[in-house]
A = this chain, B = another copy of it.
């Protein structure tokens, strides 16, 4: 490891991160979030020290109480002695929190607890975007010795599915009156959820939401195969900490099942593969950025506007140009 580059002493930051120094952890996450030139060095330095943390994904539509559920989970996991990291990911915002999640009032319960690290991440950065930055941030928290990292995503879109797929266990949080889980079904999240959490279970319609989920499960998908994990449905009232123990128990059962089926290793390989791919795509995007604005792309664009070529032929030309420039 070179140690120092552009005034950042990566070796020192990694050392302090591994010792649990919260400021070093925050600094490293900022580095990986900003596509810092030392990104590669950070990843290389952390790689040997990661792979221990259990990653729990929480996803669901806005308003179902994900932040409240996350906060309640943190309380329960802390009581059991675990050190807990939280990454709150908002793909629709180009701004990163860094600061403490502003409106997420309940999270502030944990602001003074040294065993909890909370950070929000947004779509800033280029080199693979969140698809690359979130795994790097996970690696930082992992190396810093957080036993469990909760990754909370906002919304139920494509990016959320992608990020949730990073987790060892993915929780889908639903609530009465928020599309009854149908929204989630649309986004393909039903397929990737390992535990369903029906929050606000004291409200009218909670039983119906649970029935809807059971029905959608029965329609097939990976969970209907014999021997497959059948996602349990857990009812909670996160705002009163009710049912959170059951969620933790369900996560534990899922972990046991995964360990018995070689699934932990399989998921981690899949996570590494998509991380590698995101970084590689980001690299290609940077190369395009080098060409963008160049005479070649401008000329192709002008021809497309004039109708003398079509964008597919122009794209093929551009790829050929990149290939010849990369000199293989």
Contacts and interface: CB of A to CB of B under 8 A. Distances in A.
Interface of A: 39-40, 43-44, 46-51, 91-95, 123, 132, 135, 155-158, 186-188, 265, 268-270, 272-273, 275-277, 279-281, 283-285, 288, 292, 297-298, 300-302, 304-305, 307-316, 318-320, 322-324, 326, 328
Nearest to A306: B51
Contacts of A328: 320, 323-324, 326, 328
A301 B284 contact: no
Contacts of A48: 307
B311 A270 contact: no
16 contacts: A43-B311, A48-B307, A51-B305, A93-B187, A94-B188, A123-B157, A265-B305, A269-B301, A269-B305, A276-B297, A276-B300, A276-B301, A280-B316, A281-B285, A281-B288, A283-B319
Contacts of A326: 323, 328
B312 A298 contact: no
Nearest to A160: B92
Nearest to A136: B311
B298 A43 contact: no
Contact of A280 (B269, B273, B288): B288
Contact of A272 (B40, B273, B292, B304): B304
A291 B28 CA distance: 31
A93 B279 contact: no
Contacts of A324: 328
A231 to B, nearest CB: 20
Contacts of A265: 305
B158 A92 contact: yes
Given A279-B311, A307-B47, A156 B92 contact: yes
Nearest to A322: B280
A273 B288 contact: no
Contact of A44 (B40, B50, B272, B310): B310
A290 to B, nearest CB: 12
A284 B319 contact: yes
A157 to B, nearest CB: 3
Contact of A269 (B94, B276, B302): B302
Contacts of A39: 312
Contact of A94 (B187, B273, B305, B315): B187
Given A123-B157, A277-B292, A94 B186 contact: yes
Contacts of A156: 92
Q: Most B CB atoms within 10 A — which of A132, A156, A319?
A: A319
B92 A315 contact: no
B157 A92 contact: yes
Contacts of A280: 288, 315-316, 318-319, 322
Contacts of A270: 301
A318 B156 CA distance: 30
B277 A297 contact: yes
Given A92-B158, A277-B288, A277-B297, A272 B305 contact: yes
A166 to B, nearest CB: 13
